[in-house]
A and B are shown apart, each in its own frame.
Chain A
Amino acid sequence: MNRFRRAGERARVGPPAHLSDEALVGLVARGDERALAALYDRHAALAYGVARRVLRDPQLAEDAVQEGFVNVWRGARDFRPDRSRAASWILMLVHRRAVDLVRREEHRRADSIDADQPPELPAEDDAATGALARLQREWAQRLLAKLPDQQREVIELAFYGGYTQSDLAARLGVPLGTVKSRMFNGMARLRELMEEEQWTTAISAP
């Protein structure tokens, strides 16, 4: 327990702006708090956007972002930078906390009358959203629109609605196996589309 640097001692030094996300995760793995701060600065807006859409409630969305970034800190040593982007790993951790929280909330007020309302989407032209982010959003929406409707439906409902495959089968009135194959095929198709259009680079540019 006494192997850690005192908190805050290093966080005040300027962020290593020239480093890649993956290099920053490597520094986080070695206990560098300013590297975590730099990752937060790069990805918090996208992560918070996801959490807000899943959870609606701003307070809970903040909790999801906070807990997600704490899990970035805890899990940094297990991240494999040669295999995927740090940005998607961070998003997965925040998204997972958001989904856990939305399931807990829905369990808590199981008969809430607004349970079937679609997520409240923030205004498109949020002042804080830069031109690049808007462009990336349009690109991503166009890419998703290329998926067959039924595949896109299960993927979007899982990601933004926090529904499990079993929830989706019940909600859509189709067999569980159908949900599984739509999700599997849809995610495979999405990967192909990303490669074809070289979106991996386009959408993750900081």
Chain B
Amino acid sequence: MDDCDLRALAAPYVLAALDEDERERFEAHLAGCAACAREVDAVRDSLLVLARAGGEEAPPPDLRGRVLAAVAREAQPASPARAPAPAPPREPFWRRRFALALLPPVAMAAAAAVAVVLFLGRSSTPAPLKQLGPHATMALRAAGGRRTGSVYVNRTGEVVALASLPVAPAGKVYEAWVMVGGDETRAEPAGLFHGGTHYMTLARRAHPGDVVGFTLEPAGGSARPTTQPVATARI
């Protein structure tokens, strides 16, 4: 079959005129519907007419450098000490953007127990912290103030977070952020996380005054937080 009842949503989708939940549902549908994906691709070139009708405007000259720096941050491994290999990434993008030192997928109760052991009786240093080198430790606190993990930062600003959060609901994911200066409007995405208890190396550096936070976001993550943080730590 090369047709689909939802094909009519391609035009409003391309114009960004769908409501947020409609857009999410259509994007989920797009992933599995060749007819709709083709329709979106076909409709999209019309944007060129709309954009051209408005005309060009020269961006500030320094924007180019900032865009390329942002892209370089995407490309840079979170732990630059390790030798880079040239192979192109083939994993899904949520795996490409951050390193997860996955603990075995154990049940939440067991995971929480592991976390408690790590919090209270750290007899041997876990590998992510060894790689971090000398570091400071901050409490990661849930919205109500309950401690739900730790955030470790070394002198160069590399961050490892040990977060213990309920498994994210279907279609959602936890996104880590570095909120520059604690300002939520300057939140930089730092990796995705499906919940449970994990160490993760953040894809962004953080510095004193920054806040590391986690929000629930639609699967695939967001470019900016769309919900209130479920847990935060001030560096």
Contact = CB atoms under 8 A, between A and B. Distances in A.
A70 B73 CA distance: 10
B57 A128 contact: yes
Contact of B84 (A4, A91, A180): A4
Contact of A84 (B17, B41, B77): B41
Interface residues of A, number: 92
B83 A30 contact: no
A14 interface: no
B48 A4 contact: no
B18 interface: yes
Interface in A1-51: 1-8, 11, 29-31, 33, 36-37, 40-41, 44-50
Given A2-B79, A194-B49, A137 B55 contact: yes
B48 A204 contact: yes
B85 interface: yes
A47 B18 CA distance: 21
Contact of B49 (A8, A89, A203): A203
Contacts of B103: none
Given A48-B59, A70-B70, A87-B48, A6 B43 contact: no
Contacts, number: 244
A164 to B, nearest CB: 5
Given A44-B59, A97-B223, A158-B16, A84 B44 contact: yes
Contacts of B75: 4-5, 7, 31, 33, 73
A1 B68 contact: no
A4 to B, nearest CB: 5
A83 interface: yes
Contact of B58 (A2, A4, A85, A126): A126
A87 B7 CA distance: 22
B154 to A, nearest CB: 16
B61 to A, nearest CB: 10
Nearest to B221: A74
Nearest to B80: A6
Interface string B48-80: 111111111111100110111011111111111
B68 A40 contact: yes
Contact of B15 (A30, A65, A97, A155): A155
14 contacts: A2-B82, A3-B87, A5-B84, A36-B68, A44-B67, A45-B57, A53-B54, A58-B60, A62-B66, A69-B71, A74-B97, A83-B41, A84-B45, A200-B45
Query: Closest 9 CB pairs between A and B?
Result: A128-B58, A7-B72, A140-B52, A83-B41, A187-B11, A48-B59, A45-B56, A158-B17, A140-B53
Interface of A: 1-8, 11, 29-31, 33, 36-37, 40-41, 44-50, 52-53, 58, 61-62, 65-67, 69-71, 73-75, 80, 83-85, 87-89, 91-92, 95-97, 99-100, 104, 121-122, 124, 126, 128-130, 133-134, 136-137, 139-141, 143-144, 155-156, 158-160, 162-166, 168, 180, 183-184, 187-188, 190-191, 194, 199-200, 203-204
